Structure 1
Amino acid sequence: MSDSTTNLLLPYLMAAQAQKHVTHNEALRLLDGLVQLSVKSRGLSAPPASPADGDRYIVASGATGGWAGWHLNVALWTDGTWLRLPPREGWRAWVEDEELLLVRNGADWQPVIPTTLDDLTRLGIGMAASAGSPFSAKLNSALWTALYAADGGSGDLTQTLNRETDGDDAGLILQTDFSTRALMGMFGSDQLRIAVSPNGLVFRDALGVDPATGIADQPNLPRFKAYTNYDNYVGVDTWTTLGINTAEYNDQGCFDAGTNRFVAPVTGTYLFGASLLYKINASSNARMRARLVLNGSTEIRGSFGEISSAHVSEATALWLQTMVPLDAGDTVALQGAFRAADGYFAADHTTFWGTKIG
């Protein structure tokens, strides 16, 4: 028959044993040291100078002095002496100076919450992961922070998304209730692309960057260039909306050739310009004037111009340019007028253009 218990090696009271209280008290000391095990530290390899009764330590490597040979054992200071407690598989110990819970695993103590996870096939946080989404997280916020230099890092933080070939995808997909609303990344090519969708089915590219040149393109930016294909006659002192009726370029359909005006598809800041070529009617003394008007009647500040010297037919030109904030649905039109004598704004060379810039 063994003289101690199997797991904690507590001494048994033997039959006809003298001074049973000694054995009993030894067992109590062992229980007091092991139950709810909490150690002061696991970083000392030699006993501290002034331990308090009941202090416990996990002895560090290279143990010396009164702890010589006690590597990774539990040392208990009790009744004025150090007691060695050899650990068993599965023992748990709270390390007070690290606020860390350890478990005895084989020949070592390891954190109950592992610090290294390798080669997992699935990980779910707040939800079950699936074969299609082997890493899944359901939460309201997430934080990635650099490992600072003071903590042994570089202070940098980078994230890499790698794909197999340039025909594959690497990017961010932003969704509403699992319906895609925006894409940002490289999708099927090396071009950096930002695209949006109102329904997850039809996508419009908002930005593309050519990988060979670095040139950015906004393929759906509201912008146009248009001209008149006939000579526009305008009388004296009469502001007239010019018949800019032919669009050379008309992204987003923002220019209405039927009404000779630009219609803002969205609220923003726009840049407009115009070039007007004079064509004589009866007198070269005509004074050519031009302006841009908002919503049919309001002159846009900074857009007015006039040439007051004598004109040369089909050679004298007037240029306008200005910037204006618009609300969605606002219109901008080009108007011309003459002073002193009437005349024409020449076909093909009288142009109007604009683009959204902000």
Structure 2
Amino acid sequence: MEQTARLRLPYIMPQQAQKHVTHNEALRLLDGLVQLSVVDRDRTLPPEDPQEGASHIVGGGAGGEWDGWTGSVACFIDGIWERLTPRAGWRAWVEAEGFLIIHDGTEWQRINGIPEEGAVIQNAALVGVGTGADVENPFAAKLNKVLWTARPIGEGGSGDLFYTMNKETSAKDVGLLLQSGYSTRALMGLFGSDDWRLAVSPDGTSFQDAIRTDRSSGRTVLPGNPKFAAHLNYDQYIAAGSWTRVAVNNTDYNDQAAFDAAENRFVAPASGLYAFGASVGWKQNGTNVPSGVKARLALNETAGLSAPLAMPDLSAAGAVGGEALLHLHAMAVLAEGDRVELQQFFPGLDGYAPAHVTRFWGHWVA
């Protein structure tokens, strides 16, 4: 053996003359290889005025003194170019690009987390971009912007882009968590089922659903938006001559508990635009037939949210029982805490708001 196995450094042989020549040759090679740093890795011709000790990784299609040296390390030592043939495991710092590369036995590859174009990375345990990855987060990135773009047809792609996230079973979770200070404020995806869900949180612990979509029908509900439907379950006596709150006392639906059945009114949980509707009839008291029953939706007990609607002169029409019915609709911008109720007015003679037709409903619009 006249050379070392890995770096091919020359041995001083027994009874060799001028041993200093061999020794100095080994030092020259070590000086070029240890802590290897190259100026660049794409040059195909030697620079016109090379610096002593300068090294380059020779680019493809090299010529001149570097003809046939593609991929080799060219070191300018003692006024001549020395070719060093890389082996698997050699590392080099590329000064022009600011990163380390490693030779894999065939070619040079980047090793600082950014692969060469076209390079293949398989089954990596941890990947960190701009930050460190760990077991809990095997892929981690600290960035200000991220771009995902479809590969065009002209580059061999389809022009489409799909981002797929998959969970093992329906009962598992898959989704996006949106955080502030590493505390979750919103999440969206499939959580505990295959229905799509968007939920928000003030503290990262308690969550309120904002949107839920049924996977089978596509029907979407907005659980966070107040909405209600209520009815009167008895015939309420209405005295003559004054606006009286209709005691709508039972809820069929009362999301966000915005309808107060005990007080028979809706209370706005937040400022916004709301829509309301109601139906109310009349029922005579004995032989009393009011001349013109009225109804309205009232804001904060006294102001009319809707213009009063009046039935025709019931006595003149010869109406009996509870045959006439009024329908009211209104939209209004409410402040938080505003109250909306259904009111009825019997002129002249008293009567009843009948149970079987009296309804009140509403919902938040925007």
Q: What TM-score comes out, normalization by structure 2 length?
A: 0.71
Partner in structure 2 of residue 47 of structure 1: 45
Q: Check whether the contact 1:265–1:328 (CA below 8 A) recurs between aligned residues.
A: yes
Structure 2: distance between partners of 1:52 and 1:103: 24
5 Å matches for 1:31-180?
A: 37-44=36-43, 46-47=44-45, 50=48, 52-54=50-52, 56-76=55-75, 82-87=81-86, 91-114=90-113, 115=115, 117-121=121-125, 126=132, 128-129=134-135, 133=136, 135=138, 143-147=145-149, 158-172=162-176
Matched, 1:334 2:339: no
Q: Kindly provide the CA deviation profile for residues 54-110 of structure 1, in whole angstroms up to 9, marking residues without a partner as x.
A: 564322345455323323212245787544233466544333454432234434322
Structure 1: distance between partners of 2:267 and 2:84: 86
5 Å matches for 1:239-250?
A: 239-250=243-254
Q: How many Å apart are 1:205 and its aligned residue?
A: 4.2
Partner in structure 2 of residue 275 of structure 1: 279
Partner in structure 2 of residue 255 of structure 1: 259
Matched, 1:307 2:310: yes
Structure 2: distance between partners of 1:106 and 1:75: 17
Structure 1: distance between partners of 2:35 and 2:184: 52
Q: What SS does the corresponding residue of 2:293 show, helix, strand or coil?
A: strand
Q: Which moved more, 1:222-231 or 1:51-60?
A: 51-60
**Cα 1:310–1:276, aligned 2, differ >3 Å: closer, same or farther?**
same
Q: Check whether the contact 2:296–2:307 (CA below 8 A) recurs between aligned residues.
A: yes
Q: How many Å apart are 1:224 and its aligned residue?
A: 1.8
Structure 1: distance between partners of 2:127 and 2:77: 46
The one-letter amino acid paired with 2:72 is N
Question: Over aligned residues, Cα RMSD in angstroms?
Answer: 4.6
5 Å matches for 1:183-202?
A: 183-195=187-199
Q: Which moved more, 1:76-85 or 1:182-191?
A: 76-85
Q: Kindly provide the CA deviation profile for residues 124-180 of structure 1, in whole angstroms up to 9, marking residues without a partner as x.
A: 755752xxx36375x876653214769x78887643221223333322456799987
Structure 1: distance between partners of 2:79 and 2:201: 76
**Cα 1:208–1:63, aligned 2, differ >3 Å: closer, same or farther?**
same
Q: Check whether the contact 1:91–1:103 (CA below 8 A) recurs between aligned residues.
A: yes
Structure 1: stretches of 5+ with no match in the other structure: none
The one-letter amino acid paired with 1:112 is I
Q: How many Å apart are 1:322 and its aligned residue?
A: 1.8
The one-letter amino acid paired with 1:263 is V
Q: Check whether the contact 2:230–2:248 (CA below 8 A) recurs between aligned residues.
A: yes
Which of 240, 244, 252 aligns to 1:235? It is 240
Q: What SS does the corresponding residue of 1:66 show, helix, strand or coil?
A: helix
Matched, 1:286 2:288: no
Structure 2: distance between partners of 1:273 and 1:336: 14
Q: How many Å apart are 1:304 and its aligned residue?
A: 1.7
Which of 347, 357, 361 aligns to 1:353? It is 361
Q: Kindly provide the CA deviation profile for residues 158-203 of structure 1, in whole angstroms up to 9, marking residues without a partner as x.
A: 4322122333332245679998776532233321123467788876
Structure 1: distance between partners of 2:110 and 2:127: 19
Q: Check whether the contact 2:282–2:352 (CA below 8 A) recurs between aligned residues.
A: yes
Q: What SS does the corresponding residue of 1:145 show, helix, strand or coil?
A: coil
**Cα 1:30–1:154, aligned 2, differ >3 Å: closer, same or farther?**
farther
**Cα 1:119–1:91, aligned 2, differ >3 Å: closer, same or farther?**
closer
Q: How many Å apart are 1:208 and its aligned residue?
A: 1.9
Partner in structure 2 of residue 296 of structure 1: 301
Q: What SS does the corresponding residue of 1:319 show, helix, strand or coil?
A: strand
Q: How many Å apart are 1:215 and its aligned residue?
A: 0.9
Partner in structure 2 of residue 212 of structure 1: 216
The one-letter amino acid paired with 2:261 is A
Q: How many Å apart are 1:29 and its aligned residue?
A: 7.3
Structure 1: distance between partners of 2:176 and 2:159: 24
Q: Check whether the contact 1:196–1:206 (CA below 8 A) recurs between aligned residues.
A: yes
Which of 304, 328, 336 aligns to 1:320? It is 328
Q: What SS does the corresponding residue of 2:228 show, helix, strand or coil?
A: strand
Structure 1: distance between partners of 2:105 and 2:221: 61
